[in-house]
Structure 1
């Protein structure tokens, strides 16, 4: 049994749909050509990145000038840091010298007070009949000398007795109801206060007066 042959119209359609060998060859060669072009472009880019940068004479001189300025700024910074460190050390040394001089002057004035204390202790240890009187005189002398030295150094006493209570100078340790002393005035001073010129060293411990409270209790009415 023979196979049916296609009609002339069907043969034309089959020939038009089938790819030609030349087209296949062109299609196969196209990817290779594209890859070669890509490799060539990539090689050109990589070779361009590896080339050294060339500076003109003007750009090179500008670069040298800026490098020289940077070195000068660095040298100035190091010199300034060294000068500041020397200034800090010199200031600390001068401040210590001033403190030592002040301490020396104060201690020089306190040495006679120490001598008077030693003389008073020596009188106390003796068996002389007038030892007690000598001791009292020695203690008073020491107190006067020490007070004089401290006053010369700028120490002043705070006399609070009878004064209005001042919280910046006084420290109230107790309150008493009094009619003979104005309200909120110092009745008596328990411990002296001291100032170094205008600076408070220790407030005075005082007892403050308070006006008596009115008697709020009343007698009950009889029924």
Structure 2
């Protein structure tokens, strides 16, 4: 080997360091790119997890709302299932009350029949009250437009205005819901 071709140990070390630095500079950006890419993927995955968690929370809330609405609907169905049936019974009650009020109670021959009609009416009323039907009989009460229907107004001495003075037909409620308003005559202020 010639002098020019002879490499000293220091030169060898320098050549190795330079080649290591060149390789390191080439590999570091590649690793940095991989790290950056993995960081982006991680951030994307974390965002998807948050979105899915949010979706799960929303779905659970929606299911709870559906469950609550279904429970309320079932309660209403149970509570008001008798609406049409109760409305069908109202004319029967009215007829029985009318028969009692128009019966000749002085006639001994009719007394057992009148007693039977009265017992039938009491039995019918007690049965329907068990199922939530309530009678609205507002005699001598203040007029309530939500429960009473004014058929006429009369001026009566000694009675304040807007008082029910005559009940023409009783009203009925089923579990707090108005089935039929009471038809009434209401007092008006004296002229």
TM-score in terms of structure 1 length: 0.42
TM-score in terms of structure 2 length: 0.47
| Greater relative contact order structure (CA < 8 Å, 6+ sep) | 2
Higher-Rg structure is 1
